[in-house]
Structure 1
Amino acid sequence: MAELSTNYDGVLSTLQAILQKISAEYIEIRLEINESTQIETVDNQIKRQEHSMDIGGNVRVLSEGAFGFVHFDGWYNIEQHVQTALLLAKLSRHLGTSSTMSAAAPVQITQRLLIKEDPRAVPVDIKSQLLMHYADIAHQYSPSIRSVTGRYFDRYRHLWFINNLGTQVEQEKLDLGGAIVVMARDHHGVAQRAVSFGSSDDFGVVRLLTEEVEEAAKSAIALLSAPEIEGGEYTVVIDPHLAGVFAHEAFGHLSEADGQIGDAGILETMKLGRRFGPPNLHIYDTGRDVGSRGYLPIDDEGVEAHDVDLIKEGILVGRLHSKETAAALGDEPTGNARALHYRFPPIVRMRNTVIAPGDTPLPDMFQGIKRGIYAKGSHGGQTNGELFTFLAGEAYLIEDGHVTRPLRNAVLTGNVFTTLANISAIGTDFTRFESGGGCGKAGQMPLPVSHHAPSLRIEHCLVGGKKS
């Protein structure tokens, strides 16, 4: 087939004509145009400033119980790519592969972007100047601020998706984000704080970081002279940022059904109907939060988004699915099949992981705590099945119900299910937090996701630090 016309109005009809020529159990074709900008600065210097564009697509087929997937650059020879995918499915079938897909209602939709401020209309030099402006703000706070690193990206995707079951989607996607990392140093050592930002509809979030950068500089300076935390078991209050990271990393990944299939232990642990938390704990996944980086009204299998309750009233009630995993476990697809780029097949991924607000005001969470920890933000962490480890961005000592002094190196560890059971209060301070990072899985990194949450109070939480 010749290259498709730049008259994009005819893309889906051209793909439909291809599908009508080929008989198979299931065929889907995706085409994409991707445009991206990447900027990195250190203090007042631009280290990287790139703009790129690529175009390509993929074909995925299911034939006699086996999948075949092929991706390609450019929009040439699409019929040949379909035949190649069918051949790969045949080879997989000979290797003993067996798969199926749940049915989903056909979708026919064109979705255009609704943007508050379009990053594509902002000159790249202006974007770089903003990052360097924030570096100036941080440096003005104290001579002990030694370096400020800025990172920014934006990505625009225009995609077309069609399958032989009646779904036709034309969709635009926007993702932007980044971080300002403030590093302080003196004779005590080194400390850093980061301001992260992200959006799916507004470059304006990049213009509103002055107060956060000033607070990051202040916090980094305070951490320089802060004592190291004493390791032990504490009552811990975590802020919405860290609560959202916990929900995503420690629990959300366990809810992705592709990690449960074939693992009898995880299937038993994640058996629906088990109590995993207090009666007011509600965790769900959604693709419908406009402006969030996890906004995904139509997933990459053409399934419409809806909210997926994972824990409701403290009980495990759901899990995240693609059409393949839904068929394997006898559930319905949930709209969680996602692909980072046309070079990847869709797999089960989170969108926006949410802990619903509770009924405890933040000041009340500290009451009754004789000696505890208030942990804010995250410098990263890792999970291994049910176990997690997170390094808090900031930590403060709680004494007799009051937040007192900063502490260094608060590492929270534990078992996710024990930790969920130990939640004793859920805050009213629900916060939409959008970071500039992304989720990684099966080589697809960084996928845009969000996590929104209130503060949590957790009893008997293990916190690593120096020995007392």
Structure 2
Amino acid sequence: MREILEKALRKKGKVDYLEIRAEKRETTTIHFQGKNLEKLNCAQEWGGNIRALVKGGWSFITFNQFNDLEEKVEQAIKIANLITKEESKLAAIPPVVEIVKKELDEDFRQVSLKEKKEVIENYNHRILNYDQKIQSSSVVYADIFSTVYFVNSEGSYIEQEKPFLRVSFTAIAREGDNVQMASETLGTTKGFRIVRDILPRAEKATTRALALLKAQPVEGGEYTVIIDQTLGGVFIHEAFGHLSEADFLYEDDRMKSLMILGKRIGSPQLNVVDDGSLPDLIGSSKYDDEGVKTKKNYLIKDGILVGRLHSRETAEKMGEEPTGNARALDYNFKPMVRMTNTYIENGEVPFKDLLSGIKKGIYAKDCFGGNTTFEMFTFSSGEGFMIRDGKIAEPVRDVVLSGNLFSTLLNIEGIGDDLKIIEAAGGCGKGGQSPLPVSFGSPHLRIKKIIVGGGQ
């Protein structure tokens, strides 16, 4: 493959920068909806893309055959020459030649489709038969093994294996007109072994759905809220992380003025990191899709905004260093600035001390959904409890948290000592590329003055 790609790369004309990314993908998808098998699919595919840069203008061409690759390269260069607009700007990086292999505890490519179906069907059966109040279910399994080949005109050749497996369980419970649902998900790069023993995850989704039938709607108002590691991770990813992606910032003068490096935007104990180099996490890789080595990037340090996430182009345009955050969902898409593994670092407060002194508050766990609009956010927790006199009390439902990102970060008054990294199955969406594997995480957080919307 290296010889094929490098030969095509040599057929270049007037161009400032040129790269080819090829990919081999092997995928399996299984989906049960209630008692019905909705999807059972295996596929293999080859494809790739070419990006050419001329005077600030990019061209992007995809392909599925390699016999006319040299002609495709020439076509990409011609197109880039037609859309030139300014000086080409790419942050300098050293050329890299490396092959990155991935060891699996049990290679899911060696597990038959029949066996995978039986394992997933058994979990679905256990959910449906757990309790007579369970009305339906949704169980989804997917695995992808990608081998990505990257070459560029600066002398890099990188070959990376990228396995990814995800499972999600959703249980739907009903009692009269009261219908509740709960979900549990997991993602992994380690292999199939974990899938053989995740019945507790399936049962957790089921018991949560049943518990929500008994929970009363929360009374709306302003509360001191403790959020768990999952909700804290989703919050920092969605509400803050996307604002740190420099392609967004570079094009929005208003948000650029709010996200000024050196500005205090959080409480002094708050540290936020994006790190694509962490081993074995679903958001990790040794190199991003531009051949930049991934690393630990502080975004907030001691409450001060100290960094943002970059591609080579945004780094050069903003006079900063590339961070290894140019990522593409697959060969059909061009790289854009994306998070990898984004989390709040550990604090020092035990969970029981976070509860201390709260006369009437809310403990919000997991995340059922949400949305963000610039610095404003709304998130629904998957599970909620009242806090009364410093102790967790009765369950509540329909807990919807909303507010302004910047005031909320400043209102964090306690950070737990129990960081947990969540490898979510759902992934991240941006610019039509979804679901991109990412991890997120947080310790428990205590935040004052959170607006909570109650159910009816």
TM over 0.5, shorter chain: yes
1:266 to 1:98, Cα distance in 2 relative to 1, 3 A:
farther
Q: In the alignment, is the contact (CA less than 8 A) between 1:131 and 1:180 conserved in 2?
A: no
Which of the residues 69, 74, 80 maps onto 1:89? 80
1:136 to 108, 125, 142: 125
Look up the match of 1:48: 39
Root-mean-square deviation (CA, aligned residues, Å) is 1.4
2:181 aligned with 1:181: no
- 1:89-168 equivalence runs, <5 A: 89-93=80-84, 96=85, 99-168=88-157
- Tell me the equivalent position of 2:326: 337
* Corresponding residue of 2:435: 446
Task: Quote how far apart the aligned CAs of 1:171 are.
Answer: 1.1
Rounded to whole Å, the distance in 2 between the matches of 1:262 and 1:353 is 23
Match among 51, 60, 66 for residue 69 of structure 1: 60
Q: Find the counterpart in structure 1 of residue 314 from structure 2.
A: 325
User: How far apart, CA to CA, are the structure 1 residues paired with 2:161 and 2:86?
Assistant: 34
- 1:314 corresponds, among 303, 310, 333, to 303
Give the counterpart of 2:280 among 291, 309, 329: 291
Q: Give the TM-score normalised by the residue count of structure 2.
A: 0.97
Q: Is the 8 A contact 1:272 1:317 kept in 2?
A: yes
Report the Cα distance in structure 2 between the residues aligned to 1:269 and 1:238, rounded to whole angstroms.
25
Stretches of structure 1 that go unaligned for 5 or more consecutive residues are 1-10
CA distance in structure 2 between the partners assigned to 1:224 and 1:251 by the alignment: 33
Q: CA deviation at 1:140?
A: 4.1
Q: Aligned pair in 2 of structure 1 residues 113, 146: CA closer, same or farther (>3 Å)?
A: same
Distance 2:307 2:122 in 1: 45
CA contact under 8 A between 1:32 and 1:159: conserved in structure 2? yes
Verify: 1:13 aligned to 2:3, yes or no: yes
Matched, 1:217 2:206: yes
Cα pair 1:178 1:437 within 8 Å, conserved:
no
| CA pair 353-314 structure 1, distance change in 2 beyond 3 A | same
Cα distance in structure 2, aligned partners of 1:199 and 1:213: 16
- The answer on whether the counterparts of 1:198 and 1:205 sit within 8 Å (CA) in structure 2 is no
Stretch deviating more after TM superposition (427-436 or 121-130) = 121-130
Task: Give the deviation of 1:289 after TM superposition.
Answer: 2.1
Deviation at 1:45, TM superposition (A): 3.4
How far does residue 351 in structure 1 lie from its aligned partner after superposition?
0.6
Structure 2 letter corresponding to 1:19: L
Alpha-carbon distance between aligned partners in 2 of 1:97 and 1:69, rounded to the nearest angstrom: 18
Give 1:429's aligned residue: 418
Distance apart, 1:44 and its partner CA: 4.2
Residue 255 of structure 2 corresponds to residue 266 of structure 1: yes
Q: By how many angstroms is 1:239 displaced?
A: 0.5
Alpha-carbon distance, 1:65 to partner: 2.6
- Counterpart Cα distance in 1 of 2:71 and 2:34: 50
Structure 2 CA distance, aligned partners of 1:264 and 1:306? 28
Indicate how the Cα distance of structure 1 residues 144 and 81 shifts in structure 2: closer, same or farther if over 3 A, else same. Answer: same
- What residue number does 1:230 align with? 219
Q: Which residue of 2 aligns with 1:37?
A: 28
The answer on whether the counterparts of 1:202 and 1:291 sit within 8 Å (CA) in structure 2 is no
How high is the TM-score relative to the length of structure 1?
A: 0.94
CA contact 2:228–2:364 (8 Å) conserved in 1: yes
Shift of 1:430: 1.1
Aligned residues: 455
**Which secondary structure state, in structure 2, belongs to the residue aligned with residue 463 of structure 1?**
strand
8 Å CA contact retained: 2:164, 2:188: yes
Q: How many angstroms apart in 2 are the aligned matches of 1:212 and 1:33? A: 31
Number of the residue aligned with 1:22: 12
Partner-residue secondary structure (3-state), 1:62:
strand
Q: Deviations over 1:9-47 (max 9, x none)?
A: xx2123223323424321111111111111101344322
Q: Distance between the aligned counterparts of 2:209 and 2:417, measured in 1?
A: 28
Structure 2: gaps spanning 5 or more residues? none
Deviation string 1:411-446 (CA, Å, 9 cap, x unpaired) is 111111111111111111111211110111111111
Aligned partner letter, 1:267: K
Instruction: Write the mapping of 1:272-287 to structure 2, written as runs, cut at 5 A.
Output: 272-287=261-276
Distance 2:101 2:83 in 1: 37
Instruction: Report SS of the residue matched to 2:83.
Output: helix
Residue 462 of structure 1 corresponds to 451
Structure-2 residue corresponding to 1:254:
243
Q: Any idea what the Cα deviations from partners look like across 1:336-388, whole Å, max 9, x if unmatched?
A: 00111111111100011011111111122111111111011011111100011
**1:130 aligns to what SS in structure 2?**
helix
Alignment partner of 1:409 is 2:398? yes
Local SS of the residue matching 1:211: helix
1:452 Cα deviation after fit: 2.1
Secondary structure in structure 2 of the residue aligned to 1:117: coil
Q: 2:50 aligns to what?
A: 59
Q: What SS does the corresponding residue of 1:429 show, helix, strand or coil?
A: coil
Cα distance change of structure 1 residues 352 and 218 upon mapping to structure 2, 3 Å threshold: same
- What secondary structure does 1:378 align onto? coil
Counterpart CA distance in 1 for 2:414 and 2:191 is 34
Answer whether contact 1:185 1:224 (CA < 8 A) is retained: yes
Instruction: Please tell me the residue identity of whatever aligns with 1:16.
Output: E
Q: 2:331, 2:304 → 1: CA distance?
A: 37
Kept in 2, the 8 Å contact 1:273–1:316? The answer is yes
**CA distances 1:87-141 after superposition (whole Å, capped 9, x unpaired):** 1111211xx3554211111111101111112111222222222222223333443
Contact 1:33 1:159 in 2 (8 A): yes
CA distance in 1, matches of 2:386, 2:174: 23
Identity %: 42
Distance of aligned partners of 1:127 and 1:43 in 2 relative to their CA distance in 1, 3 Å threshold: farther
